[in-house]
Structure 1
């Protein structure tokens, strides 16, 4: 009976929260939210922020695009301002909070949101990710930032090599995309970090697909955490239309071109299994006058940022990517996600299709499959999301009409990629970025099958 009364009380409390002021945030942050156009808190913010303001650790699981970054950034900044008001600004410790991210692009995005929320309070934020100049990051640390957003590997590099850098005063630790960070790929780096930060801290774990492995969760050293699940373990939003396009394997590239041509007014993300495929498909699409650009883990960080900026600005309408772009990136204008290669891990599927239909908007997710795989794919998606895939409506003869042009474009693309590979082996270095960008058509070079973009 007592438990039921507590649940009813908590439910009434959530229903009463209609603004960021109702969450218990300070006036400075309420104004910051208003200036960013955040009128009402999202469900995950309503459920997580009050617990965080009470000083509790969190394990939070919510759909992609649900406002998870704000759910952990707001209580951290509120605590920082509270510390300033009680102890004075100059006495506040540097490196107040650390946010770990599995990808560089997500780390940069998280930092930009912290900076936007803290623009009126003099917040300093440092981003420590691989692929960027180590010395410049050391200079940024010397400016005494309150917030550090980092990838685990690069943070360990700084802990080992940057003189005077220590996290012994850290108050908050956030693992964003926590299920990925707790995987074996990050195990050693994460353990190195956990061994040098205070145990007396607040810890938040956020993800759209949270692990249930208790042993993994214990590694994060949580203290009586509150579990928040604003969605089921694996789910997609109701505004996402999920479809299956199955044709013979030799028509797979034609199917991709057909969809992008039919939906030519849309911005699209095309997910592939390999880095090589991102470059090959981008070049093939460019040859067919479709403005595509690749992004993968094999590209240098400046090149990845340029590709992402071109896509966000609308200069390129198609981003061909590996799963380096599947987690956390907030690109509001994505209309469609295409699974050129269907993932085997259900978590990966959820994160991929979560790049569209964000913040209440609608979107499309289309998975390409050969006829022999169609039933397996349909069962796979139904098993992880509880939703059935409708068939993408297309006339096969129209797809076949593209066969000759697409085949020739792919042949030329394969030939060009061989040239790029030879150039990289001979020279190496950052100058190769310009060669690859030029070959991939993003600098306006005329291709053999297309016009100048």
Structure 2
């Protein structure tokens, strides 16, 4: 444009920079294209359209234009589902067990075999058994003795059998026979049991069987001082060396650890047998970590027996490992009435080529119903434990309508069944046992059913307990009221009745309680007073879990609301005479 005919001057360049032209966004390729496709897939999955930014510039002529189509997700409504079903039973854990636990050696509890027919049993021991009037081997002895008497078979053995089935004799006989030819006294067998009373019981059996063999048997329990026991187990020779004074040691686990750690000359080098009786209890508790102490001690001692050379040739030079001879390896025997099949617990024992022997009842007849508990009360079998009760045991349940009158139910039971002697009454607490014992004796005097009632609990001194147990064994005490202190291992003669005044805390506790009767092939009765609030637990955990040939029977007892006799005497003791 011209002004007054003069040309318009050219504009001066501005000092401000103009905004640069937006750069063209490149077309997605490679990873970018993959990410873009991923975003689009996610948007489709969430039923949202994909918004893709359009490029501000036209793509280069040499690059193909990419068209992105928006897809709307449809048909993603939930698929129809089947009706919920009842939860299936858990899959058995047995598939994870080693074959020797899944496929045990089974034997019927009714099996009997003359000792004269047992393969490998020496004539001398057969003669000794005859002197003791032991002519027939029970089921556990029939199956176990040939395995333990055969030194060539080797390997360790786990044994599951009911209490009172003869397990002690099953391991005592092979040990005594294998050691009877020894020349020098050395510690060669260790038997570990959980209680002092059981130590004395096993010791009595071993001493009786070993008579005439010259074998020396000792015990180690916590009731004596360690120094006194050291003098009984080891002796110092003239040359200053310390040697063992016993061939077989029967001990509790805690005291065994003390001797391993603190007794000079207590040498495990020559041990050939390790027996663990009542294994379920011993493996469940640490007892000063006795398993690790003893097993490690045995392995360290085994190194002293290593064969380093043959015919003067060093095995190491031949590329061979030295090792203990097969005949010198420790043989382990593990026993229980409730044998665990928990591989973790057994692993600490480091068993060698183990086998499992199970003495079990035949399966229940199909027409027997264990209880009125119903399907909902059925319990899955204890996969990791083996439960069984003596074959000669008769089991009964007495429904208790009123727990307030529970002592009266017990009194009626004693009268109705004619139980006047040989009865063991289990109560869950020491205090409850003391009260019940006093009540039974007092009511018996007032009602004319006079009873001699004894009491054994964990609070009593050992000498007093032993005195009462001795009187009970001689039938000087008719009824023995006790806690679970004596529910394991003890072999008390003349017990014909077990009465669970309070139900046990577990299936295992029940098995050990009722195992005090029907021992050694005899018969016996177990009675359980069962409250309404306890019935469901009992039938699930005891009625279903234990292998038995017959069902548990219900025995109704009606406690009269009026009358004289027991009820009157009972109320007089509780409330006083009017």
TM-score class, shorter-chain normalisation, is: 0.7 to 0.9
CA distance in 1, matches of 2:568, 2:220: 47
Which residue pairs with 1:269 in the alignment?
A: 424
CA distance in 1, matches of 2:395, 2:113: 33
Asked if residue 258 in structure 1 is aligned to residue 412 in structure 2, the reply is yes
Instruction: Quote the offset at 1:204 in angstroms.
Output: 0.2
Which residue pairs with 1:114 in the alignment?
A: 206
Asked if residue 56 in structure 1 is aligned to residue 155 in structure 2, the reply is yes
Which residue pairs with 1:402 in the alignment?
A: 566
| Matched-pair contact (CA < 8 Å) for 2:425–2:498 | yes
Instruction: Quote the offset at 1:148 in angstroms.
Output: 1.0
| Matched-pair contact (CA < 8 Å) for 1:101–1:152 | yes
CA distance in 1, matches of 2:468, 2:573: 22
Which residue pairs with 2:74 in the alignment?
A: none
Q: Identify, as 1 or 2, the structure richer in helix.
A: 1
CA distance in 1, matches of 2:338, 2:356: 13
Q: Deviations over 1:309-339 (max 9, x none)?
A: 1111111122222222112222231100011
Which residue pairs with 2:24 in the alignment?
A: none
Asked if residue 243 in structure 1 is aligned to residue 421 in structure 2, the reply is no
Asked if residue 162 in structure 1 is aligned to residue 162 in structure 2, the reply is no
Partner of 2:289: helix, strand, or coil? Answer: helix
Distance 1:50 1:187, change over 3 A: farther
Q: Deviations over 1:148-205 (max 9, x none)?
A: 1111112223334434333332211100011111103547233333332346311000
Q: Output aligned runs, 1:349-360, within 5 Å.
A: 349-360=510-521
Q: Output aligned runs, 1:215-234, within 5 Å.
A: 215-231=344-360, 233-234=386-387
CA distance in 2, matches of 1:130, 1:301: 12
Q: Which of the numbers 133, 144, 149 marks the counterpart of 1:37?
A: 133
| Matched-pair contact (CA < 8 Å) for 2:387–2:546 | yes
Name whichever of 57-66 and 396-405 sits farther off: 396-405
Instruction: Quote the offset at 1:114 in angstroms.
Output: 0.2
Q: Output aligned runs, 1:275-290, within 5 Å.
A: 275-287=430-442, 288=444, 289-290=450-451
| Matched-pair contact (CA < 8 Å) for 1:254–1:399 | no
CA distance in 1, matches of 2:438, 2:249: 37
Which residue pairs with 2:337 in the alignment?
A: 208
Asked if residue 69 in structure 1 is aligned to residue 165 in structure 2, the reply is no
Which residue pairs with 1:79 in the alignment?
A: 178
Partner of 1:397: helix, strand, or coil? Answer: coil
Distance 1:140 1:230, change over 3 A: same
Partner of 1:290: helix, strand, or coil? Answer: coil
| Matched-pair contact (CA < 8 Å) for 2:118–2:145 | no
CA distance in 1, matches of 2:260, 2:539: 47
CA distance in 1, matches of 2:433, 2:219: 27
Q: Which of the numbers 158, 161, 172 marks the counterpart of 2:273?
A: 172
Q: Deviations over 1:216-264 (max 9, x none)?
A: 1111121011211121622223422211112210011122223234433
Q: Deviations over 1:244-295 (max 9, x none)?
A: 1122100111222232344333301111222222333223333334222222
Instruction: Quote the offset at 1:398 in angstroms.
Output: 7.8
Distance 1:192 1:294, change over 3 A: farther
Which residue pairs with 1:308 in the alignment?
A: 469
Which residue pairs with 1:371 in the alignment?
A: 532
Distance 1:367 1:17, change over 3 A: closer
CA distance in 2, matches of 1:237, 1:398: 38
Distance 1:240 1:282, change over 3 A: same
Q: TM-score, normalised by structure 2?
A: 0.63
| Matched-pair contact (CA < 8 Å) for 2:164–2:390 | no
Structure 2: tracts of 5 or more residues without a match: 1-102, 236-244, 303-328, 362-385, 445-449
Distance 1:130 1:237, change over 3 A: same
Structure 1: tracts of 5 or more residues without a match: 1-6, 413-453
Which residue pairs with 1:194 in the alignment?
A: 295
Instruction: Quote the offset at 1:346 in angstroms.
Output: 0.9
Q: Which of the numbers 245, 250, 253 marks the counterpart of 1:149?
A: 250
Which residue pairs with 1:329 in the alignment?
A: 490
Q: Deviations over 1:24-83 (max 9, x none)?
A: 12222111211111101111111111111223311011122211001100110011014x
Which residue pairs with 1:426 in the alignment?
A: none
Which residue pairs with 2:6 in the alignment?
A: none
CA distance in 1, matches of 2:145, 2:512: 23
Q: TM-score, normalised by structure 1?
A: 0.80
Partner of 1:257: helix, strand, or coil? Answer: helix
Partner of 2:332: helix, strand, or coil? Answer: strand
Q: Output aligned runs, 1:405-424, within 5 Å.
A: 405-406=569-570, 409=573
Partner of 1:203: helix, strand, or coil? Answer: strand
CA distance in 2, matches of 1:341, 1:290: 21
CA distance in 1, matches of 2:133, 2:359: 23
